[in-house]
Structure formats: C-alpha cells, structure tokens
Amino acid sequence: MAFDRPGSGGAMNQINVTPLVDVMLVLLVIFMVTAPILQQGVPVDLPRAELGPLEGNDVPLVVSLTRAGDLYLNDEKLTRADLVSRLGAVAAERADESVYVRADESLPYGEVVSVMAAIRKAGIRNVGMVTQLPSGAG
C-alpha cells in the first residue's frame, strides 16, 4: 500500500501506473515479434511488377504454385482435380468470385498458364496475378 507522506498515516488516493506500463510494454513487444510470424503462408518467390495492390473487401481466394510444383488453395495443399472441383463449387455459389494466382517466378510459363486454365475451367472468370513491388518502389 502506498502512503501520501511519511508520518501522515493516510493511504495515497492515486493509482501507481508503473506496473501497468511495464506489462503493456512487454505485451507490445510480444505482439510485435509474433505478428509477422502469423502472416506467413506458403513460401513463394514472387516476380516483381510496377503496379500496387488492388483494393478489396473480402478475403480473396489465392491459388499458390511453389517452386516444387505443389498447388495450394489459400493454405490447403490440393491436386489439380481437387482445385477444379473446389473452385467449381465456389463459382456455382458466387459467379463473380475472383481468384488470385501466386506463382514462383522460376516456374515455366506453361505451368502457370495451365493452372490459370484449370481455374477458368472451374467457372471462375476473374483471375488475377499476385506480384511483388520492385525493391526500389514504395
């Protein structure tokens, strides 16, 4: 318990905020360290492009192609047939759904195009590509 001044015998009517600030700073450091770890997905080396990110409201569907040729829908590994059936169900539900393709830049062009064709075969008409900004850009 804190006291107002020596010898007065009365309790201090102010809150000691030092422990509160200490705890809040520790929590801030923990969140700063863990936030980038939580946002990692499938590791893909993206090609560079001059355009900035697109504006959007919903969580997008992202098809990722890794260097090893693995195929992911968001963070779930799928085969090409499973991808077509899953996206076909999405297209039947929402005809205007967009799908974004993240492909490793070392993949052959034909492989990326064949995945985009599979997406179109599933009934998705809005297909976009995900790229990185050049290292010198904003």
Residue 104: exposure state from Cβ atoms within 10 A (0-12, 13-18, ≥19): buried
Give domain 61-129's CATH architecture: 2-Layer Sandwich (3.30)
Beta pairing partners, 108: none
Per-residue confidence (pLDDT) for residue 9, from 0 to 100: 62
Q: Please, what is the average pLDDT of the chain?
A: 81
Tokens of 76: 């779930």
* 2-22 pLDDT tens trace: 555 666 666 777 888 888 899
61 within 8 A of 73, measured Cβ to Cβ: yes
pLDDT at 78 > cutoff 80: yes
Per-residue confidence (pLDDT) for residue 29, from 0 to 100: 93
Outline where DSSP puts E strands in the chain.
61-65, 71-73, 76-78, 98-103, 126-129
Query: What does the DSSP 8-state code read for residue 65?
Result: E
* 32-61 pLDDT tens trace: 888 776 666 677 777 777 766 656 556 678
User: For the residues 62-71, what does the mean pLDDT come to?
Assistant: 89
Give dist(CA 12, CA 16) in Å, integer.
10
Per-residue confidence (pLDDT) for residue 52, from 0 to 100: 63
Cβ within 8 Å of residue 135, ≥6 positions away: 48
pLDDT at 95 > cutoff 80: no
Measuring CA to CA, how many Å separate 70 from each of 11, 59, 97, 98?
Answer: 67, 22, 23, 21
Domain ranges for the chain: 1-40, 61-129
State the CB neighbour count (10 A cutoff) for residue 65.
19
